[in-house]
Structure 1
Amino acid sequence: MIYKVLYQESIAQVPVREHTHSMFVEAESEREVRKQLANRGYNIEFIQAVDGKFLEYEMQSQDFKVEKF
């Protein structure tokens, strides 16, 4: 399953839409995504499973890249 992760680069940073980054991660569950990103020090705002038409739309972006751990 592919998950879209919205995050701030620092755990101390207050979530502001203009400074939110996103990445795509391949994992078995949302819990596994959190576990994989725990050592990076990100302030994770939201994790969403991506599939179907939503995944097709995201794949059209030139910035689409799936992180594998």
Structure 2
Amino acid sequence: MIFKVFYQETSTETPVREKTQTLYMNANDEVEVRQSLKNEPFHIEYIEGLSDQHLAYEEGQPGFTLWKK
């Protein structure tokens, strides 16, 4: 399943909506996503599993790439 992760680039600052970034990751579940990103300096705000229709929309957007570690 593809997950959309909303995050702040640093975990030391207060989250600001305008600075929220996103990445897309292929994983079995949300726990696997969190485990994959645990060593990153991110502040994860929200993880959303994408339906097939939502994924098709996101794939059509500029800048869509899957996160590769």
- TM-score, normalization by structure 1: 0.93
Provide structure 1 residue ranges, at least 5 long, that are not aligned to the other structure. none
Give aligned pairs, total: 69
Provide structure 2 residue ranges, at least 5 long, that are not aligned to the other structure. none
| Offset of residue 6 of structure 1 | 0.2
Q: For residue 15 of structure 1, what is the aligned residue in structure 2?
A: 15
| Percent identity between the two aligned chains | 39
The structure in which a higher percent of residues are helix is: 1
In 2, Cα distance between equivalents of 1:42 and 1:13: 10
Q: For residue 35 of structure 2, what is the aligned residue in structure 1?
A: 35
Q: Secondary structure at the match of 2:38?
A: helix
Name the Cα RMSD after superposition. Answer: 1.0
Q: Kindly provide the CA deviation profile for residues 7-54 of structure 1, in whole angstroms up to 9, marking residues without a partner as x.
A: 001111211111000000011110000000000121000000012211
